[in-house]
């Protein structure tokens, strides 16, 4: 049975960027102006392996981007991901609010 992944990249690359439009939950129509966004990834073993700030591309459209800062070295596998948002007034939300998105890391041939 095939699994659908939301994002796939190879070990040793820092492209493509991980882009998303945040939706779902009671705060999904709130503007991201003045907010901070963090990308979190959890390994198949249940360990948080990434907890880094992301870029807000369009605050009104709720679009965000994570640019890998260096060739990533995560082990091949499927990681669960989420975006954590903190607004300047202290309100917090996590997207998606009812599940995770799946990031698949595959080994390079050489």
Domain that holds residue 46: 21-56+80-96
pLDDT tens for 6-59 read 999 999 999 999 999 987 666 666 889 999 999 999 999 999 999 999 999 999
DSSP-derived 3-state class of residue 95: strand
Provide mean pLDDT across the span 64-92: 93
pLDDT of residue 86: 95
Residue 72 domain flag: no
pLDDT of residue 27: 65
What sign has the CA pseudo-torsion 102, 51, 105, 64? positive
Calculate what percentage of the chain has a pLDDT beyond 70.
92
Residue 12 domain flag: no
pLDDT at residue 98 above 90?
A: no
pLDDT at residue 67 above 50?
A: yes
For 95, counting Cβ atoms within 10 Å of its Cβ (0-12 exposed, 13-18 middle, 19+ buried), the class is buried
Residue 71 domain flag: no
pLDDT at residue 3 above 80?
A: no
Residue 40 domain flag: yes
């Amino acid at each position: 049975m095939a699994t659908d992944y939301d994002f796939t990249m190879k070990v040793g690359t820092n492209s493509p960027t991980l882009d998303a439009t945040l939706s779902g939950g009671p705060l999904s129509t709130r503007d991201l102006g003045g907010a901070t966004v963090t990308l979190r990834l959890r390994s198949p073993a249940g360990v948080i392996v990434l907890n880094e700030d992301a870029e807000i591309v369009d605050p009104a459209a709720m679009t965000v981007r994570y640019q890998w800062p260096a060739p990533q070295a995560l082990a091949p596998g499927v990681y669960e991901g989420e975006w954590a948002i903190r607004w300047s007034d202290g309100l917090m939300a996590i997207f998606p609010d009812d599940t995770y998105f799946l990031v698949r890391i595959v080994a390079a041939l050489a």
